[in-house]
Amino acid sequence: MNAKLTFLLLAALSSGIAMGAEDAIATAQVRKVALFKNGYNWVEMSTTLPDAQRVRITGMPDALLGTVWWDAASGVWQLEGGSVEVESGVEDYSYADLLMANAGKQVKIFLKKERQVEGKLLPTAKRKVPEGSFPEQEKEQIVRYPQIFFVQTANGVQSVAAEDVASVDFAEAPQLPTAKVVSNIVTAQLKEPNPGAELRFGYVSDGMSWLPEYSLELGESGTANLTCRANIINEMADMKDVELRLVSGFPALGEAMVLSPLNRSMKLQRFLKELGILTEERNYKRSKFTANDCAPVACMGTVQSLEGEFGGGAGETGSKQVEDLFYYTLPHFSCERNKSILRELFTCEVPYSHVYTCHVPNQSMLERLSRNGEPVADVWHCVRLSNTSKQAWSTGIVTCTVDGQIAARSTLYFAAPSAETLLRLNKSMQARVQCSEELVKREERNAPGRRRDSVTVSTFRGTVTLKNSSDRPMELRLTKEVNGLVTEADKEGKINVSPSYSGNPRSVITWKFTVQPGEEAELTYTYEYEND
C-alpha cells in the first residue's frame, strides 16, 4: 500500500468542524486487524468514495490512537477531525429525568405515604453560563439539585420533591428522556471527486487482544505432539469476514496511548500534556509526529510468506514474518463485539529430550535457607523442545500430558523456527543436591589505589553433590552462584564473572553432565573472597 501520513495539528486547535449539507457519507468497514498481545492492535479499514469532494467517514471508532495512515492513491489529501451533537435516548433514567422531559403536560404524580398531586407540570429552571466564558462551559446546564418540581393544580402551584415520587401517570404518551451526545466525526477532503475509488486507512486501536494456549502430548519415542490455540478477546467492534493477524513479538508503539487530535474529545491542553508526559519518560523532545511514531506500519508493508505445517483443521491459518515480528493469519474471521473465541492455529510434531535443571544460590543465601543434611536447591524435571516447524511459538500457557494423564501446567517460552526452548514440568523428588564450603587459606594482598594499602583475601573450596535415585539417566544443567571470584571449576564447568566496582564480583558456574541411575556426582570449585 502506498501509505501517506498527514498529521493535522491544526485539527487539535479547533473545537470542531462545520457539517455542510454538501458533505457526502461513506461508511468504512474493518478489513484487516493485527492483534498484539499487549491489548493494542493495528486496524485497517476501507470504504468506497462517493461523487463528492468532501466526504464524511462513518463507522470509525470513537477513540483513535496515535496517527492515521491512508492510501494517497484514493485522492484524499486531508482529514479533518471534528464533533457533532446529537440527541440520544437515555437507557437508564429516573422519575426526575422523566418529569424534566415532559414539562407542560398533564400528570398525576403518586407520592409516598399514599399522597398524590394532579395538574400541569411546569418547566424546570435552567441556567446559562455568562457570555465570554470558556468554551467547555458554554452549553446550557439543567439545575438538577435540589430536584424540586412544580405542578399547577386546581388549588395553585404545588412543589414535589423527586425523592418522594413513587409513580407517575400521564394524560397522553410521555416524551422519553434524551441527552445530548457528542460524536466524533472525520471528514475526508479530496482535490477533486473520485467516485468509486477505494479509500484505505489504518490506525492504532485498543480493546482487542489474543493469548496463545498450547497442549503438549509427550510420546515415548522422543517425539511430542504440539497443538496451539488462540484465545481471541474482542471488546472493540463487530468483525465480519476480516483478515485477522495474530502477532508474536515486541513492537514499538510510540504514542499508542495518546488519542489522535482527529478525536475532538481530546482537548489541546490534554493532548499536549500527554505528549509531555511521554517526553519526560523518554528523556527527549519532539515537536511533531513522524512516520516512526506508529510502528505497526510494518503490517502494511511487503511480507515474505513462510509455509507452515498445519493439521487438526487449522489448514487455513498461515504464518508470516515481518522483521522480528511473527504473524499467524486467519483470512476469514468473524466475531461479534464483547465475545471471545478459542481458535486452533496449528498442530505439529516436535522432537524433545528430558533435561534436569538446578540453580544453587550463593553462600549468603545458603546460610539463611539451608539446614544441615537437607537439600539446598530443587531439581526441576524439564523437556527441551526443538522447533522444527516453520512458524514461531509465542509465549503462552501449555498443558502437558503423558499417556493421557496431566503432567504439568507450565509456560512455553518463545522459540523461533530452528530454535530450542526449555519447558519446566515438575520438581524431581528423586534427585538430591547438597553444597558445602571450607576455608582453604587467608592472606593479605597489596591493593594499590584502594582505600587501604592491603586487603584480606580468603580462598574457599566448595563441593556440590548430586544423587540420582531414579531409574533413568539424568541429563543435568546445574548453575552455582558465588559471591567472589571463581578461579577453578572441575568437570569442564564454565565460569562467568560479572565485575563489581563496590565489592566482590559475582560469579556463575555452569555444568552440563549426565548422572546415571543410582549414582552420585561430585563437583568442586574454588573462589576468592575479599573481606571488608
Residue 127, pLDDT > 80, answer: no
Residue 130, pLDDT > 90, answer: no
Task: Kindly list the structural domains of the chain, giving each domain's residue range(s) and its CATH number in brackets, ordered by start.
Answer: 1-88+180-206+254-293 (no CATH), 91-176 (2.30.30.100), 432-531 (2.60.40)
Residue 372, pLDDT > 70, answer: no
Greater confidence (483 vs 5) lies with 483
Pairing of strands 454-468, 431-446: antiparallel
Lowest mean pLDDT among 33-47, 218-232, 281-295, 388-402: 281-295
pLDDT at 356: 95
pLDDT at 322: 57
The verdict on pTM exceeding 0.75 is no
* Residue 20 banded pLDDT, cuts 50, 70, 90: very low
367: helix, coil or strand?
A: helix
Q: Which residue(s) pair with 488 in the sheet?
A: 526
Collect all residues with Cβ–Cβ distance below 8 Å to 263 and sequence separation of at least 6. 62, 63, 64, 81, 184
Tell me which residue of 213, 211, 191, 237 sits closest to 78, measured CA to CA. Answer: 191
pLDDT at 95: 87
Residue 163, pLDDT > 50, answer: yes
Lowest mean pLDDT among 41-55, 193-207, 322-336: 322-336
All three cell numbers of 32, joined, read 484487516
* Residue 162 banded pLDDT, cuts 50, 70, 90: confident
Torsion sign across C-alpha atoms 443, 447, 451, 457: negative
The CB-side HSE value for 63 (13 A sphere, CA atoms) comes to 10
Tell me which residue of 346, 280, 360, 348 sits closest to 313, measured CA to CA. Answer: 346
All three cell numbers of 252, joined, read 514499538
Residue 190, pLDDT > 70, answer: yes
pLDDT at 19: 45
How far lies 405's CA from each of 213, 223, 400, in Å?
18, 17, 8
Q: Which residue(s) pair with 181 in the sheet?
A: 86
Percent of the chain clearing pLDDT 70 (strictly above): 74
Q: Are 67 and 61 in contact (CB under 8 A)?
A: no
Mean pLDDT of 261-278: 56
Mean pLDDT of 217-242: 91
| Residue 271 phi, psi dihedral angles, 5° rounding | -60, -50
Q: Are 383 and 218 in contact (CB under 8 A)?
A: yes
pLDDT at 142: 43
Mean pLDDT of 173-195: 86
pLDDT at 294: 31
pLDDT tens-digit map of 392-446:
898 999 999 999 899 999 999 988 889 999 999 999 999 999 888 899 999 988 8
Q: Which residue has the cell 414539562?
A: 103
pLDDT at 518: 93
136: helix, coil or strand?
A: helix
Q: Are 458 and 438 in contact (CB under 8 A)?
A: no
Residue 134, pLDDT > 70, answer: no
* Residue 339 banded pLDDT, cuts 50, 70, 90: very high
Cβ-based neighbour number of residue 457 at 10 Å: 18
How far lies 104's CA from each of 25, 171, 249, in Å?
38, 11, 63
User: Which DSSP symbol is given to 394?
Assistant: P
Lowest mean pLDDT among 128-132, 380-384, 406-410, 445-449: 128-132
Question: How far is it, in rounded angstroms, from Cα 76 to Cα 199?
Answer: 8
Residue 17, pLDDT > 50, answer: no
Residue 321, pLDDT > 70, answer: no
pLDDT at 374: 66
pLDDT at 128: 58
Q: Are 391 and 328 in contact (CB under 8 A)?
A: yes
Mean pLDDT of 126-148: 51
286: helix, coil or strand?
A: coil
Cβ-based neighbour number of residue 183 at 10 Å: 14
Mean pLDDT of 186-199: 91
Residue 133, pLDDT > 60, answer: no
Mean pLDDT of the chain: 78
pLDDT at 334: 93
Q: Which residue has the cell 563489581?
A: 500
HEC states along 91-118? CCCCHHHHHHCCCCCEEEEEECCCEEEE
Residue 513, pLDDT > 70, answer: yes
